[in-house]
Amino acid sequence: MHTQDPSGRAQGPLYVRVAGTFETQIQNRSLKPGDKLPSVRELSRRLGISTATVVAAYGRLERHGAIVPRPKSGYYVAARCPRAPEPRTETRPRPPTRVAIGDIVLEIQKTARDRHMIPFGEAVITPELLPAARLNRSVRMAAAAFPQHATTYEAPAGNPRLRRQIARLAYRLSCTFAPEDVIVTNGAIEALNLAVRAVASPGDVVGVESPVCYEILQALESFGLKALEITSRPRLGPDPVELERAFRKHKIKCFLMSGSCQNPLGTILPDATKAGIVALAKQLRLPIIEDDSFGDVAFSPQRPRPLKSFDKTGGVLYCASYSHIVAPGFHLGWVHAGRFRARVEALKGITTATTPSLPQIALSEFLESGAYERHLRKLNDVLFQSTRTLGAAVAQHFPKGTRTTVPDGGFFLWVQLPRRLSGLKLYQAALEEGIAIVPGMIFSAHKHFRDCVRLSCGWRWSDQAEGAVKKLGQLAERLLHSKG
């Protein structure tokens, strides 16, 4: 039984690691629904750990819905939730294209942000799941410790204390780097913008996954860049053969991708795939821009390794964020730009000069205290639960033939509707019912994925959510019907 990550370091408290091992076994089918787990006493003896730890591990698995207790008998692997088959993402390869999705995305974003809608739209975690009081304490401590915070320009590359904390936490990423490698940004979005501008100029081609989150397509559009889309498959990511063919055939300036908890597919690529992509890019001297915005909200027992951890030549521009996951109001991200550091730092200076000071000092305090890791453990339990429940609800309520991902992390479900039903039509019908979702077509510059929608669930599952999924299913049925 392995409770260590690939880099050989144990992570998280023991009970979480024990639970994680079982989760992995359930995911890879070494344990099947109905299988009996060892008794508490037996497992305690076998692993040489306390019974309290085993009880805590089983409790966690039970909360995740992975196992169920049967009175006077023990714990069993849960009957699998109803689950739809996987969506198909394969599309005929297409030449690079200018991106032009701007106007419709703005419209859809507006809907997604509307606080009166049932929020399956926006990729945002509800404030109720975030540690407001603890962050406020960090703010108070920061303001007291640095009373000059408001009247001094922060260093352009970021507050030194925060850069040090980010470098310290690099062990979680199986990376080692220095504080000077970190450039603090206004969220991951600024990090990605700077990274793209560092390697590509207007008219150039940038390789992206397909589907890819629309924020990235918007950025490419705003800089007059072209997108070359490379099919990304649920659980597997980009096909290595297609990737290599595309890299060799087209003159692309970089490949922009997520190795972990990709938005919208929720995929965590196997380490071997990540290593292979980094090796290929290195061989072709092609920079990779890695968007790791959601890598910290993985359902795996260990924090997945980013592509960056396989990069030995500074070819990966790694972008991450504390904004989505813990403190949207601080809006802090960062980039480790590898051999493009000087260029990215200069661009940061030119476009926003510096990042506000107080949120950076407060986040430093928060990270130093260990509160971030504690927050993640709680948060990921809830997101796992919500995402799985959402998947089950869609499988139950949507028309026959609907396909969904089973995300490895994040809080998105990618749903493929049956019989080429239009995601945009479902989006419009849902709008009328006060439910926000996002149509699939805006996840592609070619407007592929017209029969898809993305559903987000960065919040605790509720009866209202269940009712909304049921309503969405009815709307889809009705649209299918009217289609004849």
- Based on CB atoms, which residue is closest to a copy of itself, 135 or 394? 135
Cα 249 from Cα 284, distance rounded (Å):
12
In sequence order, the β-bridge partners of residue 415 are 404, 453
Instruction: Provide, rounded to whole angstroms, the least separation between the CB of residue 344 and a copy of itself.
Output: 12
- Based on CB atoms, which residue is closest to a copy of itself, 109 or 428? 109
Instruction: Provide, rounded to whole angstroms, the least separation between the CB of residue 36 and a copy of itself.
Output: 41
- Residue 452 in tokens: 């898809």
- Based on CB atoms, which residue is closest to a copy of itself, 139 or 269? 139
- Based on CB atoms, which residue is closest to a copy of itself, 355 or 416? 355
In sequence order, the β-bridge partners of residue 185 are 333
Q: Determine the 3-state secondary structure of 136 from DSSP.
A: helix
In sequence order, the β-bridge partners of residue 182 are 336
Is-contact 261 295, C-beta < 8 A? yes
Cα 303 from Cα 260, distance rounded (Å):
9
Cα 237 from Cα 233, distance rounded (Å):
5
Instruction: Provide, rounded to whole angstroms, the least separation between the CB of residue 142 and a copy of itself.
Output: 9
Is-contact 468 413, C-beta < 8 A? no
Instruction: Provide, rounded to whole angstroms, the least separation between the CB of residue 148 and a copy of itself.
Output: 5
- Length in residues, the chain: 484
Instruction: Provide, rounded to whole angstroms, the least separation between the CB of residue 319 and a copy of itself.
Output: 13
Interacting residue ranges for a copy of itself, rule: CB under 8 A: 102, 106, 109, 124, 127, 130-133, 135-136, 139-140, 143, 147-154, 186-187, 189-190, 193, 197, 201-203, 215, 218-219, 222, 224, 327-332, 346-347, 349-359, 362
Instruction: Provide, rounded to whole angstroms, the least separation between the CB of residue 167 and a copy of itself.
Output: 22
- Based on CB atoms, which residue is closest to a copy of itself, 225 or 469? 225
DSSP 8-state symbol, 113: H
- Based on CB atoms, which residue is closest to a copy of itself, 236 or 358? 358
- Based on CB atoms, which residue is closest to a copy of itself, 208 or 347? 347
- Based on CB atoms, which residue is closest to a copy of itself, 228 or 332? 332
- Based on CB atoms, which residue is closest to a copy of itself, 127 or 240? 127
Phi, psi (rounded to 5 degrees) for 32: -110, 160
Cα 162 from Cα 361, distance rounded (Å):
7
**384 to 51, 207, 213, 251, 472: CA distances (angstroms):** 25, 30, 21, 40, 22
Written as one string, the DSSP assignment of 397-465 is: HSPTT-EE---SBSSEEEEE-GGG--HHHHHHHHHHTTEE-EEGGGG-TT---TTEEEEE--S---HHH
Instruction: Provide, rounded to whole angstroms, the least separation between the CB of residue 221 and a copy of itself.
Output: 8
Instruction: Provide, rounded to whole angstroms, the least separation between the CB of residue 119 and a copy of itself.
Output: 12
H/E stretch holding 473:
helix 463-483
Instruction: Provide, rounded to whole angstroms, the least separation between the CB of residue 358 and a copy of itself.
Output: 6
